[in-house]
Amino acid sequence: MCGIIGYVGSRPALPILVEGLRRLEYRGYDSAGVALIDDNLCVTKAAGRLSVLEQVLDLNAPQTAGIGHTRWATHGAPTDVNAHPHTDSSGKIAVIHNGIIENDRALRTYLEREGVTFKSETDTEVLAQLIGMLYDGDLEQAVRKALREVSGTYGIGVLCSDEPNVIVAARKGSPLIIGVGKGEHLLASDAAAILAHTTQVVYVGDGEIARITPDELRMTTLDAIPVAKDVEQIEWSLEEIELAGYDHFMIKEIFEQPEVLENCLRGRLDLKENAIRLGGLVDCTRELTRAKRIILTGCGTAWHAALVGEYLFEELVRIPTEVEYASEFRYRNPVIDDGTVVIAVSQSGETADTHAALAEAKQRGALTLGAVNVVGSTIARETDAGVYLHVGPEIGVASTKAFTGQVAVLAMIACFLGRRKHLSPSAAADFIAALSAVPKQIKQILDTADEAKKVAQQYTDRENWLYLGRGYNYPVALEGALKLKEISYIHAEGLPAAEMKHGPIALIHEGMPVVVIATAGSQYDKIINNMMQVRSRGGSVIAIATEGDREIAKQADHVLYVPNTLEPLQPLLTVIPLQLIAYHAAVIRGCNVDKPRNLAKSVTVE
């Protein structure tokens, strides 16, 4: 959840560190700090936004090596003292850390018995003090020894004033990349932090340690075994992580969806042959076709996309499919039979719970696939196969284009497998043609975006909203409610519409906004009945309907229209007005759209 940046080279480090931290702000944080090094170690840190830290920094500092961090409080309150970097008692060693040291209390007790006095409440200071105690002139070796005593997750960067041109980095369960430049190296938890300086990177693997100097990068395991690493190219450009004239990243990413879905589908939809081409699944196609059961797992928005996937796989592939919260799957004793396929869905490819669920599935013998956005991410590397979203970097904390990318990828996988099992050529042809039309249809919806803004303006003062959907649009109702909660702080609940009568109808009162996804489909008449029940109790109905449906206005206070498409693909369209309503509601309420309170973009700790 936190951000890491490091630099060692010939240029002044501080401007690079501050710029990197600014690009990591979207991940969520409540304090920030930097450590610079030459003959001495200089640490500056502050609670609050990065701007608070900048006020006390000398941006003309000449040091050419340093590390920086944005912290999201876990152990200890968000205070100056608890902010990273943390130092050992000698003041020579500084550590920045993403993750959680699970045995920190035992280590703290041991170190206190050895005479160490702690300044902070954090688990990270425990690690800094342990490294300091073990240091005997070789920083890399001290880090190696310390990590052998540690349980938990970490991505760390370590400096020592006795070795002023060295950064030691290590990772277990928390992402780290090393940017490669000419006579310089950068360390980061996210490619966004270093794109301004290099697109050449090395991914640090679990259980690996890196010793970084201006001219050398040496990688080893915790057991000091050398590791050969390839330098890889980051696919994203600097322009993709800039606002480009938009007020917020969220609205930029909503409006990018036609273009990024074109990228997602490009080269994968063969309209001439009416086929789906997924190169990432070529090596496991036979095993996939023989699968007896599919489990989809994810968290938050990815879980909602997986719910759509459940409908897709059962309808197109005719195979039993379940959706599991990754955070629950990892702590159960899940039944993984022969022929079980587990698909991990994640934007970042680093979500801690999803990664842990994936590891559990692999250990039990499942074939594992990934549907992730970030190339080279942990889940992408550790699954047996997978399909990238290719929707570009998503900076806004509230996911938008990643959701549509995830649904599109799951739709392609379902059609790809369905055609090899029960899906007829004509049905596949219709599905592929409809999927190829989705980007232009989203553009049509965005051309009428002001209609969603008008809805938000009328109802933003209401503190309780209800979202209802049936079938494929039930997960969209959940996603719409989540978006509103995340960024506007309005309480919202998403439900399968039929469940409204089993309790939640008691909540409906005069003027309560109820968003009903009522597009043409197999359950259209039933959803109209739900709308009538809401209106009879005084609720205000906001309907998402199919273009051309004029009758629905008789049962709704407001209607937002989407183009007609096949029922399995409706979530790709019906979610767009809900994203827009949430965005405008947050803006009207004066909320920080891209950095909502208490949230982080990539949840890499429990």
Which amino acid appears at position 520 of this protein? A
pLDDT of 503:
81
Q: Where does the chain hold its CATH 3.40.50.10490 domain(s)?
A: 244-446, 448-599
* Residue appearing with tokens 């936190």: 2
Q: Considering the domain 244-446, what is its CATH architecture? A: 3-Layer(aba) Sandwich (3.40)
Distance, in Å, from the CA atom of 258 to the CA atom of 260, rounded to the nearest integer, reads 6
**Which of the four CATH numbers 3.40.50.300, 3.40.50.10490, 3.40.50.2300, 3.20.20.450 does domain 448-599 have?**
3.40.50.10490
Q: Which fold has domain 3-234?
A: Glutamine Phosphoribosylpyrophosphate, subunit 1, domain 1 (3.60.20)
Number of Cβ atoms within 10 Å of the Cβ of 97: 28
What parts of the chain have a pLDDT lower than 50?
A: none
Query: Which bin fits 503, alpha (ψ -120 to 50), beta or left (φ > 0)?
Result: left
Q: What is the pLDDT of residue 303?
A: 97
Specify the pTM.
0.84
Q: Where are the alpha helices (DSSP H) in 216-300?
A: 249-255, 257-265, 285-289
| DSSP of 195-228 | TTT-SEEEEPPTTEEEEE-SS-EEEEETT--B--
Residue 410 · residue 306 · CB < 8 Å: yes
Look at residue 292 in the predicted model and tell me its pLDDT.
Answer: 95
Residue 376 burial (CB count, 10 A):
18
Just list the catalytic residues.
2, 601
DSSP letters along 59-112, please? TT---SEEEEEEE--SSS-S-TTTSSPEE-TTS-EEEEEES-BTTHHHHHHHHH
Q: What angle do CA 118, 120, 123 make, to 5 degrees?
A: 90
> What tens digit of pLDDT does each residue of 208-265 get?
999 999 999 999 999 999 999 999 988 777 777 788 889 999 999 999 999 999 999 9
Q: What is the pLDDT of residue 600?
A: 64
Q: Between β-strands 41-47 and 31-37, what pairing exists: parallel, antiparallel or unpaired?
A: antiparallel
Quote the CA–CA distance of 404 and 454 in Å, as a whole number: 24
Residues 204 and 185: their CA atoms lie apart, in Å, by 13
